[in-house]
Structure 1
């Protein structure tokens, strides 16, 4: 009797396992490993990509985004520069990202990538925001890198009409956009603009000059993101020339 019961449960659980395996197999047939089923407004992420930044604070101080250090003590600011070195390694060495070496393409506003190609992000020449220059931390003029989080098939709505720029857009950014148009660099108007300013009056007063590398925004030719093999998000280096 015990043998019959054992055989029954063995067959019973075997059938359950087989049914579960079949259900999972059918389910995975409906999924594409590169294309999400739910996109943009139909997805949880939506159509508003978040803006990330590096370097991040130490683990023991994750609740603060403040970057503080002594420029005269390399060990004191080593955490910040090492964090940037780690973050930028995949940009400096294309071979670390599968498919990037064979698909990489030197994009420009008049040379968008073809299907399956990914745009190069050459961070090696963004002086002073380079690893060799310690990202300028030793000169009390640190660099911070920002990037947009990836959303599949997202296409930005560009502020490329100089007559219809938002009222709240910073005056210096408006001037920058107008100068591009005056210099007949209209293709560059298709950019996701970036502007940095202090959070409160004291911050604004002590922020000092700011420079953006390689340009003041994320070029439109990086979008839409289609999960092409080897793709890396565009990034911008922001150099705070003399914060006080």
Structure 2
């Protein structure tokens, strides 16, 4: 409908209606505002529907469902999974039981060359260990004149000795010799061997009375081979390093290949700082300055309950003060390979000697 302009004449009652001017702008409706209002209404309605859907999903009062399931449906589901997991667990237990029945508790299924030990080498990997080792992840042995430190580290070695290096009176063990080696023992029987076969008296430098050498700052370190089932030193020529120590120079195969233990500084600087060493072993319980020996007739290890792993005690004398020395001990035998990266046939540890000031010692006393 066209807009008309109404005008009034002054001092007159006549009203004149004028036609609209062609230059007058007709106001247009705000389309954008109307569109936004419609969109807002739709958004609000959508949010309300979502909230209602969430509430109904958690709990729908009309259908009486929780998370989309009725109480009866939940009960059936719980019963099904209870029976399912119970049967699955019983199946797993039965498999373990059958596996335990067919598994030999004394002899491993795969060992030595048939095991993963021989994957990257032609020989069985023989590892070594040392004691005392107060911390499992630490290879540092502290030597000090502090009485508390001496007792602490001596107690660590004493505990290891009492648990692993002393056979009980009722132990199932027999003496092993060159004529009666461990390979001829009845299964379950061990060789007679104990800590006291090497440290026979309390006057021994590595005795408990001397705190295993720590009392006089001359520590005794126990070096041993790890237990490897069925491993026996193989026949062959004596290692060149041991030939030099024994003044034997030939490449003939030896009939009785013993295992020799030697220790030396890891680096040239360690060898320069290294001082006198004494090896106490079954061959020479009184001590040797060249090497220690583990007799061949104590092998193989066959998982006997009362087995005591043979060892060598290495005493370090006149250690320099406030100097960290890295020591590497090696086992020598025709069938033992040495590899530094994997520590095959060797073991490494550090020695550090320090002294507490006299005033502090008096205060502690």
TM-score between the two structures when normalised by the length of structure 2: 0.53
1:58·1:79 contact (CA, 8 Å) conserved in 2?
A: no
Aligned to 1:120: 192
Out of 140, 145, 160, the position equivalent to 1:66 is 140
State the 1:149 CA deviation.
Answer: 0.8
**Of Structure 1 and Structure 2, which has the larger fraction of its residues in strand?**
2
1:203 maps onto 2:270 in alignment: yes
Of the two, which has the highest radius of gyration? 2
CA shift in 2, pair 1:106/1:91, >3 Å = farther
Say which SS state the counterpart of residue 17 (structure 1) adopts: helix
Structure 2, unaligned stretches of length 5 or more? 1-71, 119-123, 284-291, 321-365
Aligned to 1:88: 161
1:45·1:151 contact (CA, 8 Å) conserved in 2?
A: no
C-alpha RMSD of matched pairs (Å): 2.9
CA distance in 2, matches of 1:220, 1:69: 33
CA distance in 2, matches of 1:151, 1:224: 8
Aligned length in residues: 222
Aligned to 2:213: 136
1:242 maps onto 2:311 in alignment: no
CA shift in 2, pair 1:242/1:109, >3 Å = farther
- Map residues 1-244 of structure 1 onto 2, 5 A cutoff: 8-46=80-118, 47-58=124-135, 62-63=137-138, 65-71=139-145, 73-91=146-164, 93-95=166-168, 101-113=170-182, 114-115=185-186, 116-124=188-196, 125-126=198-199, 127-158=204-235, 161=237, 165-167=238-240, 169=241, 173-175=245-247, 178=248, 189-214=256-281, 215=283, 216-244=292-320
CA shift in 2, pair 1:212/1:15, >3 Å = same
CA distance in 1, matches of 2:195, 2:93: 47
CA shift in 2, pair 1:133/1:111, >3 Å = farther
Say which SS state the counterpart of residue 265 (structure 2) adopts: coil
2:280·2:312 contact (CA, 8 Å) conserved in 1?
A: yes
State the 1:76 CA deviation.
Answer: 2.6
State the 1:74 CA deviation.
Answer: 1.8
Runs (4+) of structure 1 moved beyond 6 Å? none
Q: Deviations over 1:57-116 (max 9, x none)?
A: 547xx44x3323323x32132232111111111356423xxxx83312232333424223
